Amino acid sequence: MRSRRRALLVSAVSALMFASVSTVALPGVTQTPAATAANGVPAPAHTVVVVLENHAYSQVVGSSSAPYLTSLAASGANFTQSFAITHPSEPNYVALFSGSTQGLTDDSCPHTYSSANLGSELIGAGETFAGYSESMPSDGYTGCQSGQYYRKHNPWVDFTNVPAASNLRFSDFPTDYANLPALSFVVPNICDDMHDCSVSTGDTWLKKNIDAYAQWAKANNSLLVITFDEDDDSHGNQIPTIFVGQHVKPGNYSEHVDHYRVLRTLEDAYGLPYAGNSSTSTPITDAWQ
């Protein structure tokens, strides 16, 4: 009898221990797994990086012309001391994507590189990557310009280790965000990115095309990064950079941030090797829940 009681006790304790570490699925409740961390950075299921053009922080965040971006800054991590790497546009896109300007000092086209970059690192790690360009005439397009599409704002097409299948039109951006790649870039056309058109135009485009993902990301272990390539060449190259997502801790962050730190943070989020200058940068670790 004593042996039977002991066996029952052990069985009961084991059941309680199992229950304490198991997740119970409740009808009608969607559970989002907790993000794991690498170097203090959570691991999102999906990340979307949107790059806009040629405006300084003070021209966007808090501006009456940018109510949507201002609202994102208030509800997310708003980096008040974020800076681009250089001028003009193209070297900044390449720096954000590959950790180096690759020696570029202008907006010339085309270019071909084979060095490591965020896309090749993701694919090499068994993850998925895509870049979505608005107004690009066809998937896999390699031309320098077509209508309001400019290749100089599309860095992934310059790298031979990123497949053509990753170079997509924005019309391919999924409406079911669970079908997004692990990480993707979105580049609006030359008007909607605020380069040729107003801050208000870009702000309206973002609300129409990106807000649904921003809200989804907050409930689905995902991340939205919005940044700019450079400022208007008159504000010390200080640019807006905003993180929004489920594991983002809202607030204003005054630490120095640049394209290399953003790249390093994304690489750590997915457990990737480091490309170029991201290897000597530090990840952003204080903006997470």
Burial class (CB in 10 A: 0-12, 13-18, 19+), 60: buried
Query: In terms of CATH architecture, what is 42-280?
Result: 3-Layer(aba) Sandwich (3.40)
Dihedral sign, CA of 208, 250, 44, 274? positive
The predicted pLDDT at position 16 comes to 35
Q: Are 157 and 167 in contact (CB under 8 A)?
A: yes
Q: Is the peptide bond before 42 cis (omega within 30 degrees of 0)?
A: no
Write out pLDDT tens, residues 120-141.
999 999 999 999 999 999 999 9
Q: What is the pLDDT of residue 37?
A: 54
Q: Which residue has the tokens 């320098």?
A: 144
Alpha-carbon dihedral angle through residues 94, 151, 70, 98, given to the nearest 10 degrees: -20
91 touches 267 (CB < 8 A): no
Q: Mind listing the pLDDT tens digit for each residue in 249-286?
A: 999 999 999 999 999 999 999 999 999 999 999 999 99
- Buried residues in 224-247 as b, exposed as e (16+ CB within 10 A): bbbbbbbbeeeeebbbbbbbbbbb
Q: What is the pLDDT of residue 27?
A: 30
Q: Where are the domains of the chain?
A: 42-280
Residue 39 pLDDT: 83
Write out the two tokens for 97.
């994507």
Give the pLDDT confidence of 24-72 residue by residue, as tens digits.
332 332 334 445 556 899 999 999 999 999 999 999 999 999 999 999 9
Distance CA(9)–CA(235), nearest Å, equals 70
CA 208 to chain centre: 18
| pLDDT at res. 121 | 98
> What pLDDT, in 10s, does the model give residues 165-193?
999 999 999 999 999 999 999 999 999 99
Residue 50 CA, distance from chain mean position: 7
% of residues, the chain, pLDDT over 70: 87
User: Residue 159 above 90 pLDDT?
Assistant: yes
Residues contacting 195, CB < 8 A, separation 6+: 53, 54, 89
Predicted confidence at residue 11, as pLDDT, reads 42
Q: What is the pLDDT of residues 85-101, one digit of tens each?
A: 999 999 999 999 999 99
Question: What token pair was written down for 272?
Answer: 């990737």
